[in-house]
Each structure stands twice: as structure tokens, then as C-alpha cells.
């Protein structure tokens, strides 16, 4: 299909707060509340049609930039500023395809963010929200679901200087086999302070949702897990043994091991793996590990070889996926994979998908994993699921449903609208609509609607206008 060119006419930025039902610790932070950014964009195609699109993503502290000298508020302002820069440039850019709006402005956007001490990962966040909202608007104008539009390359993805390593790659061959969304396994995150058994609970939430790992396993029936470690070898081994005692009592399972940048180099991460293999209580858990995610801090991750650890298990980058060429650099150091996250940009995901395809055609074994950034119920989780499904992945990390109760922070009428539009994806409960995980999987067939994973939109009146970013710090 032809790739329509369009102009961005208007952008609205909003946000709203939410509370976590229980604390979530990852890396250097324990999260108890947060805010979600929501972007609305109006576009006009060259044939004169106009329409609105929307996107949503958590304003996450201490992931895009883990500098301890910055407060959580500073981190959120970094993300707001990257979004401001992306939107200002988008409004000034002339007619272009959806891919062109990303690719033709990529270098300038990263440079503009760098001039204000915003790293490439933060830059990607701002552009990702704008790109998603624009594509959502385009999909609604042409009345196509995401998978159909990508299969026909409605966005116009093609060879470009920013992905020179791919040469004149076969976009049609890559995108043509994309299947309609149907069902995908949810990989449950076990955070660093999550209770494992009832004995670990000091005060119960008692909101009708599972709280301990034992309860999660029984309630959702997961077959995939994501296990976080904290960088203290003895403490990590002890906690993994507690986790294994629960998981080993159930059905067959698989897992990913998330280092969360907590190990100083490849050698210390390898020491963790050797200690795990030497512990008899971890025999089944070790056999279940499909890959290891970002064990080394990003400052060194792309300076140190992963060759030795990679001989034991494939290793992927996540936080180190900053510049668009990061996966290429990582490949040379022994990494086998890279994460997809909607917050890093859906075009980036397809670029890395093309790399996996090209490298595997040459005899390699490279892959993408689907990770979470606390995607909340409604638009945010559905856009990420649409992306992951189109990439052909079998499982995706999901943690938003566990740490945030349903549509917490949103009007009940909004939650009901989304549930009624997607009865397989959400379930009604005494506490309101919530994501429905049955036998460890999500029914995502209903996201095949005109738009980027959703036709329903959130209640914009029940949000605050996004305040101007207080960045750079004065």
C-alpha cells in the first residue's frame, strides 16, 4: 500500500498521577507512585484529511537516567523536555511519511536533546510518544489496525542513512508475514522486594489481587517469569533459592534473569551465573533461564565483552539500547539480543527486528525480547501489545497489572469503556475492570481495531495539562 505523507498540525500534552498497590523495586529505586504522560496529535494528509491520534507512557524515574544526583522529579522533567523538543520539531517539519517523520529527524532530535544533557534513551522517549500518536491518527484516518498497516508498510519504512548497516534491506519481506494479534504469554516480574510467601507479608493490601509469588503463580497460572537480581551475590542466590522453591512446586516454566545493571562487569555477572549453577536448589531454575538481561551497568556494558557469559546463556541489552546503533555495537561484544519497549520507539523496534532477520539469515542466532516499563491498563498496554504482537514475539513482560490495581487513577467510566471494547483482554471484578490473565496468557485478538491497538481513547478532561519541563536544571 502507498505510504501517505502528512503534516503535524497540533500537539496536546497531558499527564495524570497513579498510586501503586504495593512497592516495586528495580535497580536503584523503589516505586510507590507515578505519573503517565498522554499525547494527542492532529495530522493532515496531503489529500486534505485530518484526524487525531493519541499515545500514553509512564514518566518513569531512574530508568532512562540512573544518576543518583538527580531526583525523581528531575527525571520526569528530563522526559517532559525530550517530549517538548520532539513536538516542537515535529510541528516545524513539513509533509512526510510516518517513517520519514522519525528517520529524517532522528539525528537532529538526538543532537538537540544532547545539547541539554538528555541522553539518547531519554531522547527516544520523547520521539516515541509523538511517533505513536501520529501513527495512531493515520491508522484511524485509513481505518486500519496496526498489524494490517505494518504488513502493508503504510508507514513507508525503507533504507536510510540512520540505519546504514542494513543497506537496502527488504522491508516488504520483513513486514509482509506479520500476523493478526491473538494470544501472548505474560511474563510476570518478580521485583526485588516482592513477597515470596505469606511469611514475607507484614501488612496485606487485601484488594482482591494476589500479593505473594505463591499467590501470583496460583492465580494467573504463568508459564513465564522475569526474575530480578540486585548485585549482591550472596543475597541474590538466597532470594533466587526462595523463588525456585515456589516455582519448582508448579508446572514447567521458563524465565529471564534481569541483572538491572547491578553488576560491575561481565566477570562479576559470570560469577553470579557460576554460583547459581553450583547451587543444587537452583538446578531447575537455571535450566529454565532463556536469557540474561542487561547485567552490567550501562557505563560499562558496551565496553566489556559478554563472550564468556554468553556461552552459558544469551545476553541482551535493555538500558544500553540508547543510540539507534547500540544493538550493532552490542553484537560485536557478544550480546545476542535487544529489548523492545514502546517507550523506546516502535520504529526502533522494527529496525532491530530487521537486524535480527539479516544477521540470522547470515547464520546467526539473534533475537528480540519484549520488556515492560509499567504499561498501565488501557491505551498504554494495548499499544505495547500491538507492537509486540506485530514483532511475532511469544511472551512479553507484564508488571503494570500487578503493581497498579486495574485502571487506578482513571474514571470508572473510562475503565468500563475499555473493558466493553476488549472483553477478552479485561475482566470485570468487584474492584472494577482489570487486565485478564488466564492460564498465564493474554487474549489480545480485540486490539485488531482501527488505530494503534485501541479505538477507545482515555478521558482527556480527567487529566492535567503537562507543565513545562524544569530542565535543564538552573
pLDDT tens string 202-219: 889 999 999 999 999 999
The single-letter DSSP state of residue 376 is P
- What is the three-class DSSP state of 258? strand
The single-letter DSSP state of residue 468 is P
- What is the per-residue pLDDT across 433-457, written as a single tens digit (0 to 9) for each? 999 999 999 999 999 999 999 999 9
pLDDT at 384: 98
pLDDT at 423: 97
Provide the pairing of β-strand 183-190 with 395-398.
parallel
What cell was used for 275? 554460583
Rounded average pLDDT over 37-58: 98
- CB neighbours of 367 closer than 8 A, spacing ≥ 6? 291, 314, 316, 336, 337, 356
- What is the per-residue pLDDT across 65-99, written as a single tens digit (0 to 9) for each? 989 999 999 999 999 999 999 999 999 999 999 99
Rounded average pLDDT over 251-262: 95
E strand or H helix at 423: none
The mean of the pLDDT values for the chain is: 96
Rounded average pLDDT over 134-159: 98
pLDDT at 27: 64
E strand or H helix at 201: none
Domain ranges of the chain: 6-158, 183-451
State what percent of residues in the chain have pLDDT above 70: 99
The DSSP bridge partners found for residue 215 are none
Name the nearest CA neighbour of 181 among 341, 472, 382, 353: 382
- What is the per-residue pLDDT across 454-466, written as a single tens digit (0 to 9) for each? 999 999 999 999 9
Q: What is the pTM of this model?
A: 0.97
Rounded average pLDDT over 32-53: 97
pLDDT at 373: 86
Give the helix, strand, coil percentages of the chain, each rounded to 5. 40, 20, 40
Phi first, then psi, for residue 210 (nearest 5°) are -65, 150
pLDDT at 330: 98
- What is the per-residue pLDDT across 342-389, written as a single tens digit (0 to 9) for each? 999 999 999 999 999 999 999 999 999 999 988 999 999 999 999 999
Rounded average pLDDT over 141-158: 98
User: Residue 112: is its pLDDT beyond 80?
Assistant: yes
Fold topology of 183-451: TIM Barrel (3.20.20)
CATH class, 6-158 region: alpha beta
Amino acid at each position: 500500500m502507498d505510504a501517505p505523507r502528512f503534516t503535524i498540525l497540533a500537539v496536546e500534552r497531558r499527564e495524570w498521577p497513579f498510586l501503586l498497590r504495593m512497592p516495586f523495586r528495580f535497580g536503584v529505586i523503589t516505586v510507590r507512585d507515578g505519573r503517565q504522560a498522554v499525547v494527542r496529535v492532529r495530522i493532515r494528509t496531503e489529500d486534505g484529511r485530518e484526524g487525531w491520534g493519541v499515545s500514553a507512557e509512564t514518566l518513569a524515574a531512574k530508568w532512562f537516567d540512573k544518576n543518583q544526583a538527580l531526583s525523581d522529579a528531575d527525571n520526569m522533567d528530563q522526559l517532559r523536555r525530550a517530549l517538548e523538543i520532539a513536538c516542537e520539531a515535529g510541528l516545524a517539519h513539513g509533509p512526510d511519511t510516518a517513517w520519514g517523520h522519525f528517520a529524517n529527524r532522528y539525528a537532529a532530535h538526538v543532537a538537540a536533546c544532547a545539547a541539554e544533557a538528555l541522553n539518547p534513551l531519554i531522547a527516544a522517549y520523547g520521539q516515541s510518544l509523538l511517533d505513536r500518536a501520529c501513527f495512531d491518527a493515520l491508522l484511524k484516518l485509513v481505518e486500519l489496525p496496526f498489524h494490517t498497516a505494518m504488513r502493508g508498510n503504510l508507514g513507508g519504512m525503507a533504507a536510510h542513512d540512520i540505519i546504514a548497516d542494513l543497506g537496502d534491506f527488504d522491508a516488504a519481506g520483513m513486514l509482509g508475514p506479520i500476523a493478526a494479534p491473538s494470544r501472548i504469554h505474560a511474563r510476570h516480574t518478580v521485583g526485588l522486594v516482592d513477597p515470596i510467601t505469606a511469611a514475607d507479608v507484614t501488612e496485606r493490601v487485601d484488594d482482591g489481587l494476589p500479593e505473594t509469588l505463591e499467590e501470583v503463580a496460583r492465580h494467573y497460572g504463568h508459564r513465564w517469569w522475569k526474575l530480578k537480581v540486585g548485585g549482591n551475590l550472596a543475597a541474590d542466590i538466597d532470594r533466587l533459592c526462595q523463588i525456585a522453591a515456589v516455582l519448582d512446586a508448579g508446572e514447567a516454566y521458563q524465565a529471564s534473569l534481569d541483572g538491572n545493571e547491578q553488576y560491575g562487569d561481565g566477570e562479576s555477572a559470570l560469577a553470579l551465573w557460576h554460583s547459581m549453577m553450583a547451587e543444587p536448589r537452583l538446578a531447575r531454575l537455571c535450566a529454565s533461564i532463556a536469557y540474561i538481561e542487561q547485567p552490567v551497568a550501562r557505563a560499562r556494558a558496551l565496553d566489556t565483552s559478554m563472550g564468556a557469559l554468553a556461552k552459558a546463556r544469551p545476553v541482551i541489552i535493555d538500558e544500553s539500547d540508547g543510540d539507534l546503533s547500540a544493538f550493532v555495537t552490542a553484537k560485536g561484544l557478544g550480546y545476542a539480543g535487544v529489548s523492545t519497549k514502546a517507550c523506546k520507539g516502535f520504529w526502533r523496534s522494527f529496525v532491530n527486528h530487521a537486524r535480527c532477520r539479516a544477521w540470522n539469515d547470515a547464520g546467526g542466532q539473534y533475537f528480540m525480547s519484549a520488556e515492560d516499563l509499567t504499561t498501565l491498563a488501557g491505551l498504554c498496554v494495548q499499544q505495547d501489545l500491538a507492537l509486540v504482537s506485530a514483532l511475532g514475539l511469544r511472551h512479553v513482560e507484564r508488571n503494570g497489572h500487578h503493581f497498579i490495581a486495574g485502571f487506578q487513577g482513571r474514571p470508572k467510566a473510562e475503565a468500563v469503556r475499555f473493558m466493553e471494547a476488549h472483553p477478552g483482554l479485561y475482566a470485570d471484578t468487584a474492584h472494577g475492570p482489570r487486565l485478564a490473565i488466564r492460564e498465564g496468557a493474554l487474549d489480545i485478538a480485540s486490539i485488531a481495531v482501527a488505530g494503534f491497538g485501541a479505538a477507545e481513547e482515555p478521558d482527556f478532561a480527567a487529566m492535567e495539562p503537562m507543565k513545562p519541563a524544569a530542565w535543564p536544571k538552573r
